[in-house]
Structure 1
């Protein structure tokens, strides 16, 4: 048996088509990269312009209002910025969920090089059997076709994930606004306490001046001057403490928008309020509009969408292949096609389906627990609000007018020699303590209002007071 080598026949048509295919693919990739780079540059530029415009529109003015403080915190707080980036990241998840699977290109070359083998039969020398071993090139393109609505189910679940992130962002936003309002209330209360301590210090100074005049006139012993000066020193300590508390509250407020030191001079606002506690039943209905409650409802929808995704995965996908086979020596082409379908004999996605069903039940239980927790917090805050309102009413209408009147009578009576210094100092102490209690009650009431507004996700003054409910 004798072997004869034949020259290799080049596949020019195949090489040319592969070169054209590769060149087109490279040009397409270059075009896509340029478009994406231009889009990223435009997005970065537009975001930078928006940030600069927002920064110009919201600045820390010399006199700061609550609206200014909230706007600064919403713009510059890093925690809220992190949630915003998470929302934009989930947009990419939704985009990816809706994309089609890429087709697959397969090139298979068998028997590289053409070899012709001639063999002679010794029993039949006249016959020659020719066997040809030739190069065979197969080019296939395969495409996975998802059946059962898998892509639509993934997109729906991803969109619900975006809505969940939006609810998280809104809940954090409302929580941040409530925290800013609470710290702003502390600044207002600190300013009132400092003002009150300054007035008390001035009253103590007036008492000391009066006592000095009476000591010099020989109407009272010198020991009373020492007692009066002790009261003045105590008032000065109270003033310094109020000043330190105000400085601390101002720094905490500035930190809400990531500022190292407060740039404002004064917080503008009225600590006294005329907001009467509204009807509890109306508040209990409004608490279900809290973003956390809405998120719990949306979470159930999201879990059901994920369950649907797992249900679609029970249906097998279809893979379609089509291509051509070229025989180098013979010079012929043959079209080929194939279809592949996996047989769901063992894995029918049973475990993932069970998990998804349990996740739906868990989400429903979490919704019930969350609504119960919100109603409990509302009930506690409402009871404290009612108690604070009663305290404010009693202090404003009964205690403070009596304490002021008693101090004025004592001071006038001391100047006329009808009362002693101890009675005057005691009346001064009672007046200062009740004024301080009034400021604290106002601040506590405002903090409770902020907490209830956080729970109902809206202003409390939009709800009618309880005495107007029939």
Structure 2
């Protein structure tokens, strides 16, 4: 073949291949534009339904003299690493929802047969040499394929993914409430530790005053020296209780500071009052609110999620459709031919039976878990309410009967000892009884506050709101009757 003929053949091959590639590029642009439009519309839909405010909260510092319960809760919510992990899980599931709504990418394929056989026909078309040349000529095929999901698979995936986001939000809310309750309990421990430390300091001072009184009476010759030894033993015991109360307070402060990932507490003292005037509300009102707990709501949402996953498996029984379109170029004959094909699997053996059975059982399991969770919450509420009622009665008895009597007895014993009417044993016994009952009162107040926190965790609301709602309902009923 001459050089000029080779140049002509090469030019023809380049022009034919360029036209084929240009046609495939136009088809690819069309599919890409369709996919981008679908993705943009899905993003807009997700933004209207699942948008969140990502504004950052102001930073709260604990480096100040006093710490309130609100400050402690805000610090824990902002700096607790476990809660941050839940928030990141929620953002990760937003990406899963986005991915579930995307269309499948088109596939571009190209094939060349009999590479290099591009010579023009020398004889007539029907000549034997021409026929042989046509059979062995270079054939270039370029086609693009798109998978089309049938049966609502994409919509089912998006629905299941959105329910997964809602489940993650409920997990976040449940953990947030648990952290708030944990902070409230630890804050109560700090308040109780401060009260116990204060009582221990007062008791130590009382013991020191008793020692001074006994020393004076010993020096006056009114009592034997052995009473001075007994009084100093009581003072040493008061010192031990003082140091123990101090260690317990330091430990409680550290445990509270660890809730916001602080190695050492920076606050001076916790501000708050252990004594509360919240009377235990009616049990029926609390039981009505227990189903508003995020854990109970999560089990209900979990059933919806499992049903959505079941729908996803049901849509997978319907086979998908693959559409292919392209062009075939014949190098020798110099022509292009458009081709198209449709591919669909035949569901003869695999009709997704196993996954459907699993999904049905998962739905049934979620329903059982809902019943278990409701029973568990009601049981915990009943136990906490019974303990709350018992501690409330204990507080009333200690406040109204025991403590006034113990204080009066110690005051009388102290004055009587100074006048020589009572002995040291009676005085130290009255002092011990007063201190023990004061400790019992502080512990009862702390236990009552912890039980209030636990009930608020179960109803996911302040306990005062139960009474307010009940009073509002009663007023509405009275107005309707009038």
- Which bracket does the TM-score occupy, shorter chain normalised? 0.7 to 0.9
- State the number of aligned residues: 437
**CA distance 1:13–1:129, shift in 2 (3 Å):** closer
Residue 11 of structure 1: how far off its partner (Å): 3.0
Of 226, 232, 236 in structure 1, the residue corresponding to residue 235 of structure 2 is: 232
Q: Is the CA contact 1:144–1:319 (under 8 Å) kept in the aligned structure 2? A: yes
State the secondary structure of the residue aligned to 1:321.
strand
Kindly report which structure 2 residues correspond to 1:12-411, keeping only aligned pairs within 5 A, or say none. 12-15=15-18, 18=21, 54-55=58-59, 57-114=60-117, 129-131=129-131, 132=133, 133-411=136-414
Q: What are the superposed Cα offsets for residues 359-383 of structure 1, whole Å, 9 maximum, x if unpaired? A: 0000000000011011111111111
Q: Is the CA contact 1:145–1:320 (under 8 Å) kept in the aligned structure 2? A: yes
C-alpha separation between the residues in 1 aligned to 2:394 and 2:63?
Answer: 35
C-alpha separation between the residues in 1 aligned to 2:17 and 2:221?
Answer: 124
C-alpha separation between the residues in 2 aligned to 1:338 and 1:242?
Answer: 84
Normalised by the length of structure 2, the TM-score is: 0.86
C-alpha separation between the residues in 1 aligned to 2:151 and 2:25?
Answer: 34
State the secondary structure of the residue aligned to 1:463.
helix
Residue 20 of structure 1: how far off its partner (Å): 10
**CA distance 1:324–1:18, shift in 2 (3 Å):** closer
C-alpha separation between the residues in 2 aligned to 1:266 and 1:434?
Answer: 25
Q: What are the superposed Cα offsets for residues 153-211 of structure 1, whole Å, 9 maximum, x if unpaired? A: 00000000000000000000000100010000000000000000001111111111111
Q: Is the CA contact 2:16–2:329 (under 8 Å) kept in the aligned structure 1? A: no
Q: Is the CA contact 1:215–1:221 (under 8 Å) kept in the aligned structure 2? A: yes
Q: Is the CA contact 1:311–1:353 (under 8 Å) kept in the aligned structure 2? A: yes
C-alpha separation between the residues in 1 aligned to 2:151 and 2:401?
Answer: 75
State the secondary structure of the residue aligned to 1:300.
helix
Q: Is the CA contact 2:145–2:324 (under 8 Å) kept in the aligned structure 1? A: yes
**CA distance 1:165–1:433, shift in 2 (3 Å):** same
Structure 2, unaligned stretches of length 5 or more? Answer: 37-53, 475-482
**CA distance 1:130–1:429, shift in 2 (3 Å):** same
Residue 216 of structure 1: how far off its partner (Å): 1.0
Corresponding position of 1:425: 428
State the secondary structure of the residue aligned to 1:275.
coil
C-alpha separation between the residues in 1 aligned to 2:261 and 2:222?
Answer: 60
1:416 aligns with 2:422: no
**CA distance 1:20–1:68, shift in 2 (3 Å):** farther
Q: Is the CA contact 2:20–2:329 (under 8 Å) kept in the aligned structure 1? A: no
Task: State the superposition RMSD in angstroms.
Answer: 2.6
**CA distance 1:308–1:50, shift in 2 (3 Å):** closer
**CA distance 1:129–1:210, shift in 2 (3 Å):** closer
Q: Which moved more, 1:107-116 or 1:228-237?
A: 107-116
Residue 115 of structure 1: how far off its partner (Å): 5.8
Q: Is the CA contact 2:120–2:332 (under 8 Å) kept in the aligned structure 1? A: no
